[in-house]
Amino acid sequence: MITDNKILYLHMPKTGGMFTRTFLLSNLKNMQSISGWHTPARMMDKKYKDLTKFGNIRNPLSWYVSFYFHHLQKSPIMIRRHKERGTVPSPTAFAKYFDPKNTGDFNVFINNIFLDSYLDSNVKFKFIKEYIPYMKYMKKLDVGFYTIMYLNIYFKDFYKIMNNEIDIFKNHDQLLTVKHMLKMESLNKSLAAFLKKNNYSPSIINKLKSEKKINVMKKQSWRNYYSKELIKKIVYKDRLIFDLYYKGFKA
């Protein structure tokens, strides 16, 4: 999280957060980091409860492709880090677990995330072990991994939602901690509009017109990675996101 005690930004992975953080920290005088990069809303200090909170959202179909390449460690920032260390990028434990035969196939990797056979609490990878509860919540709520990440970052009542104490489909708007969501697909424009609405300097807002994206991979359109069956699965599993932010979307 970052804040200037007026606005507060929560960073969901793979939604343009590095760009948002970097721009705000570099251009807003009192903006500072107050927690880790992907700290969820439920861990936010109560003293920030009245601030204007915002975050980013991304088309799930695009998000899964970015998530996949991140775990192959092929994003620009990971390549740079390995170069600085003198090491060679290789798939993360997450990628190895969900693509055990090392096929390098996007559809295999994503489909396996949805399979019950991978919900093994005795898995040897510590990193995967931490994710197993989230995978079980996916099954419990019949939603996608992206939706679970969204609920995890942006909702204080995350665990009540996961345990079906609250129906997220019926009570989404009342429960959402972040009241302003910026679409990654038009992030410069969305962030500029948000800052203008909150009375920030026009000179800072104008900088966004020419500000370049950060950690952007040169890859094909997300459409080139999916089978028709996997598209249908994602559109259904992450229906909460599509219905709220991408209404009328056609794959």
Give Cβ neighbours of residue 163 (< 8 Å, ≥ 6 apart).
none
| Model confidence band, residue 75 (pLDDT cutoffs 50, 70, 90) | low
Residue 15 placed within a domain: yes
Question: What does the mean pLDDT of the chain come to?
Answer: 89
Low-confidence winner among 25-29, 176-180, 212-216, 226-230 (lowest mean pLDDT): 212-216
Q: Coil, strand or helix: which one is 94?
A: helix
pTM of the model: 0.90
Tell whether the torsion through CA atoms of 2, 8, 11 and 23 is positive or negative. Answer: negative
pLDDT for residue 63 is more than 90? yes
The predicted pLDDT at position 170 comes to: 95
Domain that holds residue 43: 2-245
| Residue 6 structure tokens | 């007026």
> How far is it between the farthest Cα atoms of the chain?
54
| Residue 69 structure tokens | 């390449």
Residue ranges with strand state E in the chain: 2-3, 7-9, 32-33, 52-57, 180-183
Query: From CA 6, how far away is CA 136, in angstroms rounded?
Result: 37
Query: From CA 8, how far away is CA 2, in angstroms rounded?
Result: 6
Q: Quick: pLDDT tens for 172-181.
A: 999 999 989 9
| Model confidence band, residue 96 (pLDDT cutoffs 50, 70, 90) | confident
Q: What is the dihedral of CA 86, 89, 90, 95, to 10 degrees?
A: 140
| 2 CB neighbour count, 10 Å cutoff | 20
CB 242 within 8 A of CB 146: no
CATH, residue 36? 3.40.50
The predicted pLDDT at position 84 comes to: 81
DSSP 47-83: GGTTSEEEEEE--HHHHHHHHHHHHTT-SHHHHHHHH
The candidate with the shortest Cα–Cα distance to 31, out of 215, 216, 198, is: 198
pLDDT for residue 251 is more than 90? no
Query: From CA 88, how far away is CA 231, in angstroms rounded?
Result: 32
Domains of the chain: total: 1
CB 18 within 8 A of CB 214: yes
Residue 111 placed within a domain: yes
Residue 238 placed within a domain: yes
Residue 87 placed within a domain: yes
Q: Quick: pLDDT tens for 159-169.
A: 999 988 999 99
The candidate with the shortest Cα–Cα distance to 187, out of 1, 16, 9, 11, is: 16
Report strand pairing: 32-33 vs 52-57: unpaired
Residue 197 placed within a domain: yes
Residue 196 placed within a domain: yes
Give Cβ neighbours of residue 66 (< 8 Å, ≥ 6 apart).
14, 58, 75, 217
Q: How much is the average pLDDT of 76-91?
A: 74
Q: Coil, strand or helix: which one is 86?
A: coil
Residue 251 placed within a domain: no
Residue 250 placed within a domain: no
